[in-house]
Structures are given as C-alpha cells and as structure tokens.
Amino acid sequence: MLQGPAEASPPASLPPVPDGPRPPDAKRRLRSWRRSDVGELFGSMLSALALTWLLFFALTQLYGAAGFVLVWYVLFLVVYWLVERDVHGSLVARDRLAAVVISTGGVLALVPLTLTIGKTVVEGLPNLDLSFFTNDMSTTGPLSPPGEGGAAHSIVGTVEQVGIATLIAVPLAVLTAVYLNEVRGRLTGTIRFFVDAMSGLPSIVAGLFIYAVWVLRFSYSGFAAALALAVLMLPIVTRTAVEMLRLVPDGLREASLALGAPQWRTALQVVLPTARTGIVTAVILGMARAAGETAPVLLTALGNTSMEWNPFAGPQDDLPLFVWTQIRSSVDASVSRAWTGALVLILLVLFLFALARAVAGRAVGGSRSRGRLGRRGRGAPMLVPVEDIGPFGVAARPHDQSGGSRS
C-alpha cells in the first residue's frame, strides 16, 4: 500500500551546523620579501664568508681564488637554507633557495655579455664620429691616425648583402613553413629533416658551397656573399615561421574551410595574416644572424677598401670582414678602427633585436585589445548567419559587404 503524507518516513538527520563564522581554510603562502628577509640574506652571506675564511686560512692549507669563491657559495646556500627553514619553514626555505640558485645562473650568464659589450664600448667609442660613417679605406695607409678612414663601404656592403639575402631567403622560408604546417604533403618529413640539419650548419660550409657553385664560375661579389647568407637565414626563418603557424588556432582554419574557402586561400588570407607579426620577428632575427657572419663573406665577397655600390660588379666589403681585416694588423690605429667597427656592428644587431621585441610586443598588445578576425578587414573571412548556412557548412546564399543576404 502507498503511504500517505502523514505516514512518510522522516528525512535523515543532518549533522549539526556549528554556530558562528566558519574558520578560514589554512593556506600555505609564500611571503613577499621584506627588510628582515634582506637582512637574513646578507647575514647568511657574511656567515658563509667567515666560515670560508676559517676553513681556508685557519684550519687547512687551501688556497686559490676560484676555490675560495666556490666554497663560499656552497656554504652560503647551506647557511641560508638553515636560516630560512628555522625562521619561515621548509616550504619558504626551498623557495628562497631555488630563487637564489636561479638568480645566480642569470647573473653568471650576463657577466661575459656585459664584459664583452663594455670592452667594445670603451675601446670603440673614442673613434666613433661622423667621418667613420662617410669615409672608406681607399686613401688610408697603415701609418694613418685612427681618425682617418672609415667604414662607409663596409656599412653599405652589409646593408646590401643582408637585404639581398632577405629577399631570397624569406619567400622560400615562408613557403616552406606553409608546406610543413599547412599542406603536410609526402615530402614533409624529408624537408623537415633537411631544415633541422641546416640549422646546425657551420657558416663556413655555406661559404664553401657558394664558392664552389658561384665564385669559381663567375667571380667574387657581394651577391655571392648574399647567397651564402641566404643559406644561413633559410633554416632559421623556416623553423621560427613553423612555430608561429602552429600557434594559429585550428578554429580559424576550420571556420574558413566551412565557409567554402579552398586551402590555399585559407593559408594566404587567414593563417598568414594571423601569424604575420611572428613571421616578421623571425625575419628580423635571421637578418641579425646574417649581419654578424664573417667566414662566408670572406670566401665569397673577398673584401674591398673602396666603396662598391654594385653588389654584382666585384669584391665588396662588410662590417664583420672590416673588423677581421683591421684586427689582423699590429698597428694601434688599425686595431682602434676594428674596435669601432665592432661597436657599430653590435649597435646594428642590437637595433634589429630591439625591433623584433617591439614588433612582438606590439602584436601581443594588439591581439589583447582587439582580435585579428573580430573586426572585418580586407581579406578576412565573412561571417554568415546561421539560418543561411546550407549543407556541408557552405553558405546557401551570397552575402553583401554588410553581412546581409542578397536576394
């Protein structure tokens, strides 16, 4: 028999709820740095220094600056971990110890770079003036003072050679990247293998290849150097462009294909515009790599002391070759010019890297503020109302530019 409402079984009793607010969940959070934390850090350093001095000069006969610093650092890590564990606990101690080790690695990586740039600036800045950018070495002898002569012919050669190499390598690299990531044909594995192998290709091998193929048949020229630089740029730009294309969401490709666009048009008008800024960054990085090469230019362009505007006419100079030629001399004036040329080359490479970072940062900021395909632009796929989509995802009726269907 069915029980009535009065005969229904009573609900199961719930556990009593304690009166008052519930205590907050205990969370283990790492505290931010304060003055006491800085005191603990420097106190541990001083303690480790005292222990190291006691170990080296009082208890044993150890010696050597490198060993002293190494033992000091190891003892500092031990003392600092013990102090932090005793004051803040093991979790904070492990975090602070990892932060110290990582920071030490970053500082050690910056030391040789800082010393190199600092030495170049100190040695090359005194001779850096306007005449260095307007004069060449055609009328400069070995006994001329450092203020005479310049690297105008080398700067022109660098710009022309890197520019021609960019015009050759970038279209091939972008097309190869599209084939590897979008088309994925039968030769994808073979092409990917050769691209990866060329990424570790020594620069002198590229110079020897162009020397055997071009220079022996024709002559030394800036164009031959550009061919060698293009061989070096091609794998760098290709690999970076492939990574940028992989970042494009698959939903954009699927949306374009669902609207009836062929694959080539999807790659040309959807994928490449979306990855445009990343590809530009890859091109700039490849140009920076090519601008600092010496061995391939030495085997293909040979070098020149006078201005050569035509890269097809004969031997041509560039900045790395100018530095190599001047540093070989034992005359102080030539060595000073070499340092100045190295400073100009560093400034050029730093400018290219800064330009790449600026382009990448602008791309990130623009993508956050507004989507690339959120606003109808030239070449962007057209949005179709749901009721107008026919079978297989193809628009049943053509649409005008305003998004409405036309009768």
235-272 pLDDT per residue, tens: 999 999 999 999 999 999 999 999 999 999 999 999 99
Phi/psi for 316 (5° steps) reads: -140, 150
Low-confidence spans in the chain with pLDDT less than 50: 1-2, 4-6, 17, 22, 24-26, 28, 367-407
pLDDT at 363: 57
Largest CA distance in the chain: 121
Distance CA 85, CA 94 (A): 8
- What is the CB-side half-sphere exposure of residue 49 using CA atoms within 13 A? 6
Radius of gyration of the chain measured on its C-alpha atoms: 33
Domains and CATH numbers, the chain: 35-125 (no CATH), 152-368 (1.10.3720.10)
Distance CA 311, CA 314 (A): 7
Listing DSSP states for 342-386 in one string gives HHHHHHHHHHHHHHHHHHHHHHHHHHHHS-TTTS--TTPPPP--G
Distance CA 126, CA 133 (A): 14
pTM summary value: 0.73
The structure tokens listed for 47 are: 């303690």
Phi/psi for 205 (5° steps) reads: -65, -40
Phi/psi for 204 (5° steps) reads: -70, -25
Phi/psi for 380 (5° steps) reads: -80, 150
pLDDT at 376: 42
Question: What mean pLDDT value characterizes the chain?
Answer: 83
Q: Which one-letter DSSP state was computed for residue 292?
A: T
First to last CA, the chain: 68
Q: How many CB atoms lie within 10 A of CB 326?
A: 23
pLDDT at 377: 42
- List, in order, residues 6 or more apart from 406 with CB less than 8 Å away: 397, 398, 399, 400
Q: Which helix (H) or strand (E) holds 243?
A: helix 222-246
Distance CA 125, CA 359 (A): 29
The structure tokens listed for 34 are: 């304060």
pLDDT at 88: 87
